[in-house]
Amino acid sequence: MNHHSDQVDRMLEPLEGEEPIADDGISPRMPFPTSYVLNRDQEESLCTHAMRRLEEMERESGRDICGNGQWWGDDSIQVNQGENEGLHRGAKTWMGKRHVFDKHYKNDVGYRSGLLGGIFAESNLAAPIARRVTRQMTARAVNYFFGTDPWFAVYPVGIMDKDRADKADRYLRWKMDQAKLRRTEELAIERAFVLGESVVKTSWVNRGQIYRTNAAVLVDEQGKDVLGADGDYILEDDLWIAESVTDPATGQPVQSGLMVLKRDGQTPQPPVLTFVPKLITRRITHYKGPEAKVVNFMDFLCPLEAASIQLADCVAHLYDKPLMELADEWQKEIAANATGEDRQRAMRKSVDLLRQLSRGSGETSTAQNSNAVDDSINGASRGTTTVPIIEIVEFHLRYDSDGDGILEDVMLIMDRKSRMPIFYDYEANITPDGLRPFSCTRVNEVQGRWYGMGSMEQFESSQQIIDLLINRYNFSQSSSGKQVFFNPACTLEGRRNPNLLLNSGVTLTLAPGKTAQEALSVIYLEENKGENLMELAEFFMQLMMNESGVANANDGQVSGMDSTKLATGIRNVEKSGQEVFSLHLGHLEPGVAEPLDKMCKLVFANLDQMEVYRYFEDGEIGGEGGSGELRQINPGDIANMEIDTRVLLTRYRGEQILESYTRGWEIVEKFYGQPYEVQVQTAEMARSMLKAMQIANADKIIVPVQVPVAPPGGGQLPPGGLTPRPRQAPPNL
């Protein structure tokens, strides 16, 4: 038996039941008990529909052709010939185009000699103008969204939520930094500019390691283990602290007089602490929290006519998973969510299913886990391992499987090769908001579609023209630009070998009475269009820069725009660029905010115990050496926070606040510059203006004030103080 099969056998052996479960043809094949209960016929109907939609989406997007990393070299599906006409029908598909744009962005243009032919088969130089524009557009967008630290914040909707929102804001900043969300968002923006859209998948992960160790654990009087609120053993070195509760009269925290376990803040300290040494099983957690990843564009399928990922009838995410990881996840899933007979039955069914899946190969099949896309230029094959690889298809679809006439949003996980259902449940039981765990960051939105148009596609025609001109110029200046004439009879070596090769480093001997001019002559072809070709190339470069909105003063040198050397010209270039680029920022903003919102909701839904975190104050480092300040948060501190708070980008929010307060200050100054009678009549209008700009406490800010004045003639003030101003007629409003 193969090595990987032996490894699977050893792993599955402890899980096997006494006898395998006989297939009665009625019970569902999926081993895990969930709320989405189906019989065998309903399960088969769901799986059949999902696989049919997968095949339809692959044909629609072109993945059935372009799934191979070197699809342009397949002669069986070439359709036409000729320079720049497209030699392969895969290049006309939605996914084929994106594959080409992705390779061109990576400066990998080896595909052009076979895909486009013509001049590219002789000279295949690339002027990375579109790549340069795309990289600068990415850099500008990243600087806009993530140029400040922190780059997001949680704002309360109601005044009563302010303290809780502040605590959640600090904790979420630390958690999102742990999850490296900012880096994922930056990658998503880059992929969006390259391809037009980028799909980000959010999930909750718990990466850890199980091991055994000898430790002294807390036991009760009967010798039974005393566990903490988190279900873990209480060790001798765990700390106990005074319990803090909130005084209902003052609302301030006070000590109750009880001692509780510090790590969970709930478990009360027993009167007597008895610790017994024993061998225990423990789990060390490397990371527990939300995770966001950019999905490979060739492994995500969504109907092209769908307006959004959430509104599509079906979306599919394809990925590979080693059988060992799958078995480990199943053990934990069953142990955590099943008990008694359900647990035993689920364990035995999962073993049967794993046995069937173990017959798979060790070859990766998706773009994310293989080098079929990125390294195909080197002729590398798909990666292989010694462990069986399961080709997983994760469906998120809308389908009525139970026949009640109501469409349900369901998540279905299947093995593509065997078409075996691995897991299914209602979407609302999987994600905190009941929505699919995918977000789409896009630019140049296509009306009524979920995808966009990237910069590489936007400037494709100009880039191709530039490359054609440069390669034609290069070809004309190469060896094809001259003609060599050689008379072998004029040399002794030529007489012996009429097919003598030149430029071989061999010294030639002239025949008697012959001259070098008679033996060899070179005629250079007249080249009178190279200068015009380069001028055209520079013209199209300038067009690309202007359209992108990222042109700078140096780019103006390409077309001889001397005005850009002056300060006025530089300011004009910058101003026009900002106006053009603001449209891209508006397209990107929802896609940047949505993953952040999903990640925060995942944190709110999964925080089940007290957690200690390190917080740094804004603009400064807490503690010496950047140690920060240690704080703690309990599940109750952020309960229902998704209802009472909203998450906004801090830079965008800061600009909004600054603009609102600047305009509000002008209104306040103008209001108090009016006479008292005018203030009385316009107070309500001024308050409404401030409220419209979302300025808090407008009723307290706008209050008519009588300004006392001294009596005429400079006499003594009356005993009651200064007299009011003389009454004036209010202006016409």
What DSSP character marks residue 712?
A: G
Instruction: Pick 309 or 243 by higher pLDDT.
Output: 309
Q: Are residues 165 and 159 in contact, defined by beta-carbon separation less than 8 angstroms?
A: no
Confidence at residue 467, expressed as pLDDT on a 0 to 100 scale:
85
Instruction: Pick 569 or 475 by higher pLDDT.
Output: 475
Q: Which two tokens stand for residue 418?
A: 């065997």
pLDDT exceeds cutoff 90 at 465: no
pLDDT exceeds cutoff 50 at 731: no
Q: Which of 3-7, 130-134, 184-188, 615-619 has the lowest mean pLDDT?
A: 3-7
Encoded amino acid at 271, one letter: P
Which of 102-111, 180-189, 218-227 reaches the highest mean pLDDT? Answer: 180-189
Confidence at residue 479, expressed as pLDDT on a 0 to 100 scale:
57
Average pLDDT, integer, range 26-48: 87
Confidence at residue 626, expressed as pLDDT on a 0 to 100 scale:
46
Average pLDDT, integer, range 586-590: 88
Confidence at residue 601, expressed as pLDDT on a 0 to 100 scale:
87
pLDDT exceeds cutoff 60 at 560: no
Instruction: Pick 591 or 80 by higher pLDDT.
Output: 591
Average pLDDT, integer, range 181-205: 94
pLDDT exceeds cutoff 80 at 603: yes
Half-sphere exposure for 46 (CA within 13 Å, toward CB):
35
Query: What band does 140 get if pLDDT is binned at 50, 70 and 90?
Result: confident
Buried b (16+ CB within 10 A) or exposed e, 271-308: eeeeeeeeebeeeeeeeebbbbbbbbbbbbbbbeebee
Q: Are residues 38 and 399 in contact, defined by beta-carbon separation less than 8 angstroms?
A: no
- 684 C-beta neighbours (distance < 10 Å), count: 11
pLDDT exceeds cutoff 70 at 574: no
Confidence at residue 584, expressed as pLDDT on a 0 to 100 scale:
82
Which of 51, 123, 62, 58 shows the shortest CA–CA distance to 88?
62
Dump pLDDT digits (tens) for 401-445: 877 888 999 999 998 888 889 889 999 999 988 999 999 999 999
Confidence at residue 728, expressed as pLDDT on a 0 to 100 scale:
46
Average pLDDT, integer, range 294-301: 94
Confidence at residue 702, expressed as pLDDT on a 0 to 100 scale:
92
Confidence at residue 466, expressed as pLDDT on a 0 to 100 scale:
83
Query: What band does 516 get if pLDDT is binned at 50, 70 and 90?
Result: confident
Q: Which of 3-17, 247-261, 373-387 has the lowest mean pLDDT?
A: 373-387
Dump pLDDT digits (tens) for 605-656: 888 777 777 776 654 434 344 455 667 787 777 766 665 556 666 655 666 6
Dump pLDDT digits (tens) for 656-696: 677 788 888 999 999 999 999 899 999 999 999 988 887 87
Confidence at residue 622, expressed as pLDDT on a 0 to 100 scale:
40
CA dist 59 and 715 (Å) reads 96
Q: Are residues 707 and 723 in contact, defined by beta-carbon separation less than 8 angstroms?
A: no
CA dist 392 and 405 (Å) reads 29
Query: What is the Cα gyration radius of the chain?
Result: 36
Average pLDDT, integer, range 469-495: 77
Dump pLDDT digits (tens) for 526-551: 554 556 666 777 777 777 776 666 65
Confidence at residue 711, expressed as pLDDT on a 0 to 100 scale:
59
pLDDT exceeds cutoff 70 at 475: yes
DSSP string, 136-159: HHHHHHHHHHHSSSS-EEEEESSG
Which of 109-113, 127-131, 330-334, 447-451 reaches the highest mean pLDDT? Answer: 447-451
Confidence at residue 192, expressed as pLDDT on a 0 to 100 scale:
96
Q: By percentage, how much of the chain surpasses pLDDT 90?
A: 24
Confidence at residue 251, expressed as pLDDT on a 0 to 100 scale:
63
What DSSP character marks residue 363?
A: B
Confidence at residue 708, expressed as pLDDT on a 0 to 100 scale:
62
CA dist 329 and 101 (Å) reads 37
Average pLDDT, integer, range 159-183: 82
Confidence at residue 3, expressed as pLDDT on a 0 to 100 scale:
46
Q: Which of 46-60, 161-175, 222-236, 434-448 has the lowest mean pLDDT?
A: 161-175
Query: What band does 147 get if pLDDT is binned at 50, 70 and 90?
Result: confident
Instruction: Pick 108 or 525 by higher pLDDT.
Output: 108
Confidence at residue 184, expressed as pLDDT on a 0 to 100 scale:
95
Q: Are residues 546 and 530 in contact, defined by beta-carbon separation less than 8 angstroms?
A: no
pLDDT exceeds cutoff 60 at 21: no
Query: What band does 385 get if pLDDT is binned at 50, 70 and 90?
Result: low
Instruction: Pick 209 or 331 by higher pLDDT.
Output: 209
Query: What band does 182 get if pLDDT is binned at 50, 70 and 90?
Result: very high
Angle at 48 (CA atoms; ends 38, 350), nearest 5 degrees: 55
Average pLDDT, the chain: 77
Confidence at residue 727, expressed as pLDDT on a 0 to 100 scale:
44
Query: What band does 82 get if pLDDT is binned at 50, 70 and 90?
Result: very low
Instruction: Pick 434 or 569 by higher pLDDT.
Output: 434
Confidence at residue 351, expressed as pLDDT on a 0 to 100 scale:
65
Compute CA distances 388 → 370, 385, 407, whole Å: 15, 7, 36
Q: Which two tokens stand for residue 671?
A: 């209001």
Encoded amino acid at 590, one letter: P
Q: By percentage, how much of the chain surpasses pLDDT 70?
A: 68
Confidence at residue 374, expressed as pLDDT on a 0 to 100 scale:
47
Contacts of residues 127-130 at CB distance under 8 Å and 24 or more positions apart, as own/partner, are 127/463, 127/466, 127/467, 127/470, 127/537, 127/541, 129/459, 129/462, 129/463, 129/466, 129/541, 129/544, 130/104, 130/105, 130/455, 130/456, 130/459, 130/460, 130/462, 130/463, 130/544
Confidence at residue 451, expressed as pLDDT on a 0 to 100 scale:
95
